[in-house]
């Protein structure tokens, strides 16, 4: 029922439906012309090549071709005319060269025609065999003629069934049945005795399904069965010569239709843009990019005046030649914005419009966003130069004709060399080619008028890349002193260079960075200027001023920049400040501020606090875990702090999974403090620290090990201790024996040893003094 209502609503405008009109689009390429026909689906194609023309036929189809815009993109040199015949799906391409037309399909339904030069000599169309006579040709019936003429007006006689009633009666038979009935029916020019639904059902059905398909494509309705949408890869599929296929949609079942929406038109625009571009394997002719010939040394006003006067011709029509000449003149003088505005006066200037737009973007923005020149890096002549300049960053692993680019750059007029030279040199420098970057600077240095502060800045950057820091600093300082627009950027690089080389930053340079910061608030250099200003103050020794300015600017700086500044300023404070200044600023920082610092700065500050004996103040800097080498440093610091706090067991826990002599040394200390002197002695011995090993052995009363000590005091003391133990055992045995003579003899021996024992004890005390003596 719903379908029937939809048919009734569509019937009023279905009566006047025309055969589907197919746009023929075009594109000019180097060596050939391309025509594309966007069909709903793939169909049979026949191509006849003649000397004067080529005929493309789609047998059995009822398409008409819209060719009004074919020559918007191409000239009439190779293709003189393109004519679509109304009585059949036939397209005639009139040729102005000895060419052939070849076809291929792209994707599901995009028919591509290429008109190329050929050595084959085709016969003339006049030599074609004559068509069959009228007697031999079948006579078309009126019904057949009406089927071919959907625009013919149909008159419905009163008393016959209405269209709605007929459709309801037939219950919308399948299209194939309706077509078969229509083909077999004998219909007069005015429908009097036949069902009026028969010649219209197919047309109404086709129109209805097309509208439903378009609505489904736009997401306005949903089908009952799940239809898998095209994937991104299918949408982005391309053919050689950068031809992009528009998206097509088909309905399920026996009807295979194409629904086109505004989204499809956008893809067609992309297709059109790709057709206008140049092939990835074809280089732009050098004459097209001969910018040096687009102007002269005459004053700018004398050259631009006549061209601006000629922009508008008779009847207020834009003079296309004047637009092209004025655009080229603006580009000759480096006025990208003006050239872009001039191009906007007309929708289409020529096949070089995209190239002119790319050049204007290079002049104004420093690079081009469109791809008109992006595939010219390998080319000879000026194409390579402009392709390099069109990139913001040169691609890696791509062939670049650097010699051709340098030759083309050297041939540019002086004002363009001065304007584009620094950008060109920086492209090569950023790509890791300082030698070519230096060659560009040499070309600029040949003439004094082409040397600019920006060129001097790039030259200093080249020196930095070559490791000549002292020469680079001199060049950067010279650029800063020019007090030009580029001076702020040079100052940033100058302070950064001093910081990286761990040299002191001039206080005057730091203050100048603050002045430039005020001048560039809201600009692209604001963040870098704020960074070098605050860190530069600290590096110059003005720690108090740096922290004061940090508090003043904190509300206007993003969190990630504050973290970087706080970390670098703390590094400068840790490395350069005296103890009082260091402790004063460290103690006033909050735990939240400490948690935002990077691991390098936190570890350095904690290390200095530990060395100064401030364990409690050091711990907050290293509480958070990090990774790699910095985390190992933190574990070592945590163990030291635990030892300072008298927690040897915690110190060993802090050192879990940490290897190395420094970790073993801390373990030995922890074991010694914990009273495990034998283990500590063994650890010290493994580390080769014999002195501390012997000390721990003395505390452990390991007299046997001490007998091997190199220090005579320890070995003598160990011997004395062993002797005392032996004498004590003998005294015990003698007491049990009860012989007075043996006891007297033993006592006499002890008296004789007492003098040597006192000397040994004195030596031991000297070697291992008590804490009070220390």
Express each pLDDT in 404-441 by its tens digit.
999 999 999 999 999 999 999 999 999 999 999 999 99
Ranking 35-44, 261-270, 432-441, 632-641 by mean pLDDT, the lowest is 261-270
Q: State the Cα–Cα distance between residues 408 and 462, nearest whole angstrom.
A: 22
Q: State the Cα–Cα distance between residues 696 and 486, nearest whole angstrom.
A: 67
User: What are the φ and ψ backbone dihedral angles of 253, each rounded to 5 degrees?
Assistant: 95, -155
Instruction: Give 15: exposed, middle or buried? Use CB within 10 Å, 0-12, 13-18, 19+.
Output: middle
The answer to whether 674 and 649 are in contact (CB under 8 A) is: yes
Share of the chain above pLDDT 90, in %: 33
Residue entry with tokens 């605050």 = 534
The answer to whether 409 and 385 are in contact (CB under 8 A) is: yes
Q: For position 251, what pLDDT does the model report?
A: 36
Which residues contact residue 435 at a Cβ distance below 8 angstroms, ignoring those fewer than 6 apart? Answer: none
Element (H, E) at 531: helix 526-539
Overall average pLDDT of the 741-763 stretch: 57
The answer to whether 615 and 586 are in contact (CB under 8 A) is: no
With a cut of 50, say whether residue 542 has pLDDT above it.
yes
Higher pLDDT, 730 or 685: 685
pLDDT category, 637, cuts 50, 70, 90? very high
Q: For position 30, what pLDDT does the model report?
A: 75
pLDDT category, 297, cuts 50, 70, 90? confident
Which residues contact residue 292 at a Cβ distance below 8 angstroms, ignoring those fewer than 6 apart? Answer: 332, 411, 412, 413, 416
Q: State the Cα–Cα distance between residues 763 and 757, nearest whole angstrom.
A: 10
Quickly list DSSP for 618-638.
Answer: HGGGG-S---HHHHHHHHHHH
Q: State the Cα–Cα distance between residues 345 and 340, nearest whole angstrom.
A: 9
Helix (H/G/I), strand (E/B), else coil: 617: helix
Quickly list DSSP for 368-421.
Answer: -SS-SSTT-TT-SSHHHHHHHHH-SSPPSS----HHHHHHHHHTS-HHHHHHHH
Overall average pLDDT of the 225-248 stretch: 38
With a cut of 50, say whether residue 367 has pLDDT above it.
yes
With a cut of 50, say whether residue 227 has pLDDT above it.
no
User: What are the φ and ψ backbone dihedral angles of 631, each rounded to 5 degrees?
Assistant: -70, -35
pLDDT category, 357, cuts 50, 70, 90? very high
Q: State the Cα–Cα distance between residues 436 and 457, nearest whole angstrom.
A: 16
User: What are the φ and ψ backbone dihedral angles of 394, each rounded to 5 degrees?
Assistant: -65, 140
pLDDT category, 190, cuts 50, 70, 90? very low
Overall average pLDDT of the 761-767 stretch: 58
Angle between helices 402-410 and 434-445 (to 10 degrees): 10
The answer to whether 457 and 481 are in contact (CB under 8 A) is: no
Element (H, E) at 663: helix 661-673
The answer to whether 497 and 533 are in contact (CB under 8 A) is: no
User: How are beta strands 21-29 and 64-66 bridged, if at all?
Assistant: parallel
pLDDT category, 156, cuts 50, 70, 90? very low
- C-alpha closest to that of 270 among 305, 236, 314: 236
What is the token pair recorded at 612?
Answer: 């100064």
Q: Which of 149-158, 631-640, 713-722 has the highest mean pLDDT?
A: 631-640
The answer to whether 337 and 370 are in contact (CB under 8 A) is: no
**Alpha-carbon separation of residue 722 from 705, 719, 726, 759 (angstroms):** 12, 5, 6, 16
What is the token pair recorded at 14?
Answer: 């279905």
Overall average pLDDT of the 506-524 stretch: 92
Kindly report the average pLDDT of the chain as a whole number: 76
Q: For position 359, what pLDDT does the model report?
A: 94
What is the token pair recorded at 451?
Answer: 């040397």
Element (H, E) at 271: helix 262-276
Angle between helices 434-445 and 453-465 (to 10 degrees): 150
Higher pLDDT, 28 or 17: 28
Q: State the Cα–Cα distance between residues 689 and 681, nearest whole angstrom.
A: 9
pLDDT category, 689, cuts 50, 70, 90? confident
User: What are the φ and ψ backbone dihedral angles of 101, each rounded to 5 degrees?
Assistant: -110, 120
Could you tell me the end-to-end alpha-carbon distance of the chain, in angstroms, rounded to an integer?
109
Q: State the Cα–Cα distance between residues 625 and 131, nearest whole angstrom.
A: 91
User: How are beta strands 110-117 and 32-38 bridged, if at all?
Assistant: antiparallel
**Alpha-carbon separation of residue 193 from 169, 179, 615, 760, 770 (angstroms):** 16, 19, 110, 144, 133
Residue entry with tokens 């505004």 = 262
Overall average pLDDT of the 712-722 stretch: 58
User: What is the CA angle 236-237-241, rounded to 5?
Assistant: 110
- Residues making up the chain, counted from first to last: 774
Overall average pLDDT of the 600-625 stretch: 92
pTM of the model: 0.55
């Amino acid at each position: 029922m719903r379908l029937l209502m939809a048919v009734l609503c569509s019937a009023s405008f279905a009566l006047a439906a025309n055969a589907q009109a197919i746009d023929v689009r075009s594109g000019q390429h180097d060596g050939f012309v391309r025509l594309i026909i966007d069909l709903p689906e793939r169909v049979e194609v026949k191509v006849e090549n003649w000397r004067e023309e080529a005929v493309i036929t789609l047998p059995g189809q009822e398409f008409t071709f819209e060719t009004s815009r074919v020559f918007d993109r191409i000239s009439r040199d190779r293709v003189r005319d393109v004519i679509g015949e109304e009585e059949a799906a036939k397209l005639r391409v009139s040729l102005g060269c000895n060419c052939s037309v070849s076809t291929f399909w792209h994707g599901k339904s995009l028919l591509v025609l290429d008109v190329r030069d050929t050595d084959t000599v085709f016969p003339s169309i006049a030599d074609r065999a004559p068509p069959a006579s009228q007697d031999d040709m079948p006579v078309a019936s009126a019904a057949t003629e009406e089927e071919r003429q959907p625009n013919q007006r149909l008159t419905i006689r009163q008393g016959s069934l209405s269209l709605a009633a007929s459709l309801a009666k037939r219950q919308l038979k399948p299209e194939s049945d309706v077509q078969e009935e229509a083909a077999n029916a004998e219909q007069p020019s005015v429908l009097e005795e036949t069902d009026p639904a028969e010649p219209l059902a197919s047309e109404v059905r086709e129109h209805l399904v097309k509208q439903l398909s378009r609505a489904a494509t736009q997401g306005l309705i949903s089908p009952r069965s799940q239809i898998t949408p095209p994937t991104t890869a299918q949408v982005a599929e391309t053919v050689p010569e950068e031809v992009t296929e528009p998206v097509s949609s088909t309905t399920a079942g026996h009807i295979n239709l194409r629904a086109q929406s505004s989204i499809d038109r956008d893809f067609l625009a992309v297709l059109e843009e790709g057709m206008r571009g140049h092939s990835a394997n074809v280089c732009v002719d050098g004459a097209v990019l001969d910018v040096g010939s687009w102007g002269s040394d005459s004053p700018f006003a004398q050259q631009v005046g006549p061209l601006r006067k000629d922009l508008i011709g008779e009847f207020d029509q834009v003079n296309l030649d004047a637009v092209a000449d004025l655009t080229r003149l603006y580009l000759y003088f480096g006025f990208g914005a003006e050239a872009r505005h001039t191009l906007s006066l007309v929708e289409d200037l020529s096949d070089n419009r995209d190239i002119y737009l790319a050049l204007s973007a290079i002049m104004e923005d420093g690079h081009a966003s469109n791809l008109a020149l992006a595939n010219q890096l390998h080319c000879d002549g000026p194409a390579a130069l402009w392709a390099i300049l069109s990139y913001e960053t040169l691609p890696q692993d791509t062939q670049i004709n650097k010699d051709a680019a340098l030759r083309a750059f050297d041939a540019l007029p002086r004002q363009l060399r001065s304007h584009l030279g620094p950008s060109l040199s920086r492209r090569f420098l950023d790509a890791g080619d300082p030698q070519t970057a230096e060659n560009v600077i040499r070309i600029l240095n040949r003439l004094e008028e082409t040397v600019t502060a920006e060129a001097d800045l790039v030259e200093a950057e080249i020196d930095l890349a070559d490791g000549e820091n002292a020469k680079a600093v001199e060049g950067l300082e010279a650029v800063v002193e020019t007090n030009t627009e580029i001076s702020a950027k040079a100052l940033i690089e100058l302070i950064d260079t001093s910081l990286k080389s761990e040299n002191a930053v001039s206080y005057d340079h730091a203050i100048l960075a603050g002045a430039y910061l005020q001048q560039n608030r809201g600009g692209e250099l604001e963040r870098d200027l704020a960074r070098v200003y605050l860190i530069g103050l600290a590096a110059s020794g003005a720690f108090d001023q740096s922290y004061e300015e940090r508090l003043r600017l904190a509300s206007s700086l993003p969190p990630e920049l504050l973290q970087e500044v706080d970390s670098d300023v703390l590094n400068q404070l840790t490395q350069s400040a005296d103890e009082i200044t260091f402790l004063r600023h460290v103690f006033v920082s909050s735990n939240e501020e400490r948690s935002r610092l990077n691991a390098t700065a936190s570890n350095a500050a904690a290390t200095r606090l530990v060395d100064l004996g401030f364990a409690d103040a050091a711990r907050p800097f290293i509480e958070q875990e990090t990774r790699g080498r910095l985390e190992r440093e933190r574990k070592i610091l945590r163990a030291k702090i635990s030892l300072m706090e008298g927690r040897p067991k915690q110190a060993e826990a802090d050192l879990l999974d940490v290897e190395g002599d420094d970790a073993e040394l801390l373990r030995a200390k922890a074991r010694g403090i914990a009273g495990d002197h034998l283990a500590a002695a063994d650890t010290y011995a493994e580390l080769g620290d014999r002195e501390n090993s012997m000390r721990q052995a003395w505390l452990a009363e390991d007299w046997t090990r001490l007998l091997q000590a190199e220090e005579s005091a320890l070995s003598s003391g160990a011997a004395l201790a062993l002797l005392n133990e032996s004498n004590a055992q003998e005294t015990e045995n003698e007491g049990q024996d009860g012989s007075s003579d043996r006891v007297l003899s033993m006592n006499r021996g002890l008296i004789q040893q007492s003098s040597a024992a006192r000397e040994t004890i004195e030596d031991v005390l000297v070697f291992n003094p008590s804490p009070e003596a220390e």
